Structure 1
Amino acid sequence: MRLLRALAVPATVVLLLTCGPNQATAATSQATGATAVAQAADTDGDTDDGDTGTLTNPTTATAVAPAAMSTAGYSYTAPVDHCILFAAEIGATCHQWVGDDQWVIDGDANGWAAVVHVQTNYGKDRYCQALPAAQGWGKCNYDHIEGKCVRWQMYELKDGDTRNFTPWSAWYGTQYGYPC
């Protein structure tokens, strides 16, 4: 575990320097994980999708081509093009503004789930949990209002307990991915 932590910061720096056209933000944290499920209804009556999940009961990401996007070596390479990558020791998330997908991957099958909290500047809070046991990239599809902004942070969840919150990312546009 100490070796993993010792390598996390240099790996994140390399990621930031080599991620090509993807924009990246790094944050360091302490651990990693897997667990829970849920989905809440749209309670505010606006035109985008429902408010999904809560801090301790997030929506579980949908598995997408797990063989092609395995966690072998805990590679946090962006899973798709046009994706803003945010990596931490606990895992990584990638905001894909074309299609409004939020990708998430757990960095370690240690019993704690990596979760990404997505917040909009128009009052939405959404929570997307990584696939169980660090099984590769998964995604949650959100229908963000175009021309607005989103930001995110990651944390770990297990049996209703949370830990290792990362700092918030910068705000990014929902239409073109530009900083807001």
Structure 2
Amino acid sequence: MLKLRIAGVAVAGVAGLGVSALPAQAAPVQTAPVQTAPAAARAAQPTASVSVNAKGITCIDLYGNRKLVATGCFQSNGDDIGVRDHRKDGLRAVVTWRTNYGRSGKCQETRGGGKSTICNYNMKKGKKVQFKVDVRNGANGRPKYSSAYSPWLSIGK
């Protein structure tokens, strides 16, 4: 069961999937700005943080203008990818993923701010996957904010 960690608060459940907050013990693994810029422009630059909890759920929180805009998560056991759009801004949150054996795809939250979507994929156990989170206008629009790809993550247990 995939659980999304959303800035330390619970997320409303997604039918049948029990989406909720990750335990508070989820520890940040990496926090880095996507780009560097002069001090005046730095606030507008997107940043992302990656965290992994004890159950092996890896999440990326994406920030734009110092506000949480989207979260994407991957759960190895179950091949679930989840995405949450935090802002009612007319943009959609998208998790783009790719494997080390040639598969790729997108999990999109199209209903607007405050909503979550869980996508289940039948990925090859023992292989690797990476994912990134962005916020864009439409299915194929240019990202307004985007994270870097996560480290390579193991699929299955």
**TM-score, reference length from structure 2:** 0.61
State the one-letter code of the partner of 2:77: V
Residue 112 of structure 2 aligns to a residue whose secondary structure is helix
**1:162 — aligned with what?**
142
- Which residues of 2 match residues 3-152 of structure 1 at below 5 A? 19-21=24-26, 24-26=29-31, 81-89=55-63, 90-152=69-131
Q: What count of residue pairs does the alignment treat as equivalent?
A: 117
- In structure 1, the gaps of 5 or more residues are 1-10, 13-17, 33-76
- In structure 2, the gaps of 5 or more residues are 1-6, 9-22, 35-43, 64-68
Q: CA deviation at 1:117?
A: 0.3
**Which is helix-richer, 1 or 2?**
1
Q: Aligned equivalents of 1:20 and 1:113: distance in 2?
A: 29
2:154 aligned with 1:173: yes
**2:3 — aligned with what?**
none
Query: Given the superposition, is the C-alpha separation of residues 19 and 148 from structure 1 closer, same or farther in structure 2, using an over 3 Å criterion?
Result: farther
Q: Which runs of 4+ in 1 moved over 4 A?
A: 21-32
**TM-score, reference length from structure 1:** 0.54
Alignment RMSD:
3.3
Q: Aligned equivalents of 1:31 and 1:133: distance in 2?
A: 22
Highest relative contact order (Cα 8 Å, sep 6+), 1 or 2? 1
Identity level (%): 23
Query: Given the superposition, is the C-alpha separation of residues 92 and 98 from structure 1 closer, same or farther in structure 2, using an over 3 Å criterion?
Result: same
